[in-house]
Amino acid sequence: MTEDFERLRAALDTVVPSRTDTNLLVATWNIRALGDLTAKWAAGPKDSPKRDWHAITCLAEVISRFDVVAVQEARRNPRALTHLLGTLGPAWQAIVSDVTEGSAGNGERLAFLYKSDRVQPAGLVGEIVLPPIGNDPVRQFARSPYVASFTRAGTEFTLASVHVLWGNNAAERLPEVTAFAQWMRAWADRPDDWNRNLMVLGDFNLDRIGDPLYEAFVATGLWPPTELNAVPRTIFDDSGASHFYDQIAWFSEPDGTSLLQGLIYAQRAGSFDFIPHVLTGLTRNEVSWRISDHYPLWVEFRLAL
């Protein structure tokens, strides 16, 4: 199994930019059912869950290439997440939400994993809660978006991580996507607020460019980099254009001018296909329960020093 790690490292070297003194690497990853863990190197046929120490080491190998990673679908049971942090090493820390209760919440947490010798918390942590309108409470997000601010070499940025409810059809996802994009835009525009370099990232369950979900996402000026348009999101996609579930985006002016301050998009972004490199004797479905059914998505920024 050590060949898995060698193949992963070689593949990551060709895909993910190296860290430099003047860059920032931000990623998002929906890691399928990151909850319990089988406490052995290789889970056997009768073991449940199938995620084991080998799988955690594979996850850590990928995550270790970035500065901060937003993780969706961490579960109530923190065993696998705790073991992942231990595998990453003492420089890695986590900021983790509580569980969104109720059946729609699916027992999930949202987490930020960050390399503390590259990125430090800047103080802001919280969940997005919509205000009431009149006497009727607004329907809240099925899984409360989770926000944390960080600083890299004196430049502050704020990440909002989301896992939009899948529902029975795309129409059921539209209200959450619309409400989130509008809420974030209002936050970005408020003067004298804690809103420097707002970015959103996570699993928005968008289908494709041009459909109502995607249009709701970008209607407020929230744009993902074009380099992400052609990359696959899940291991079950037959082509890169199949889905746009996972996204990393930030706000721009109507003329396309970025609202980022002190950060410059480096024109480099992508996903990472781990399938050819790990657990090659298993089916994709079997790999999905050990690693994930989603690929990690990443973006590189340069510091405007």
Domains of the chain by residue range: 2-303
pLDDT (average), residues 10-15:
97
- What was the pLDDT predicted at 185? 87
Assess whether pLDDT exceeds 60 at residue 128: yes
| 277 touches 11 (CB < 8 A) | yes
pLDDT band, residue 104 (cuts 50/70/90):
low
Residue 156 has φ and ψ, to the nearest 5°, of -90, 145
pLDDT band, residue 144 (cuts 50/70/90):
confident
- What was the pLDDT predicted at 142? 65
Which CATH number fits the domain 2-303, given the four candidates 3.40.640.10, 3.30.450.20, 3.30.56.10, 3.60.10.10? 3.60.10.10
Q: What percent of the chain has pLDDT over 90?
A: 60
Strands 23-34 and 68-75: parallel
More confident residue, 144 or 228: 228
- What was the pLDDT predicted at 297? 96
Q: What percent of the chain has pLDDT over 70?
A: 85
Q: Which of 5, 4, 304, 1 is nearest to 156 (CA)?
A: 304
CA–CA dist 101, 106 (Å, integer): 8
Query: How does pLDDT run across 216-252, given as a tens digit for each residue?
Result: 777 788 888 989 988 888 998 865 456 667 889 998 8
Mean pLDDT of all residues in the chain? 87
Residue 32's beta-bridge partner residues? none
Beta strands in the chain (DSSP E): 23-34, 68-75, 92-96, 108-115, 120-127, 146-152, 155-163, 198-206, 222-223, 244-251, 263-271, 297-303
pLDDT band, residue 108 (cuts 50/70/90):
confident
Token readout for 108 is 């999930």
- What was the pLDDT predicted at 126? 93
pLDDT band, residue 14 (cuts 50/70/90):
very high
Query: How does pLDDT run across 29-84, given as a tens digit for each residue?
Result: 999 999 999 999 999 999 999 999 999 999 999 999 999 999 999 999 999 999 99
Residue 35 has φ and ψ, to the nearest 5°, of -135, -95
More confident residue, 254 or 154: 154
Query: How does pLDDT run across 149-181, given as a tens digit for each residue?
Result: 999 999 999 999 988 655 555 566 676 677 778
More confident residue, 131 or 151: 151
| Listed range (43-52, 75-84, 132-141, 189-198) with the worst mean pLDDT | 132-141
Judged on CB neighbours under 10 Å (0-12, 13-18, 19+), 82 is: middle
Token readout for 214 is 């995607």
pLDDT band, residue 254 (cuts 50/70/90):
confident
Side-chain-facing half-sphere of 138: CA atoms under 13 Å: 14
Angle of helix 2-15 relative to helix 53-63, nearest 10 degrees? Answer: 20
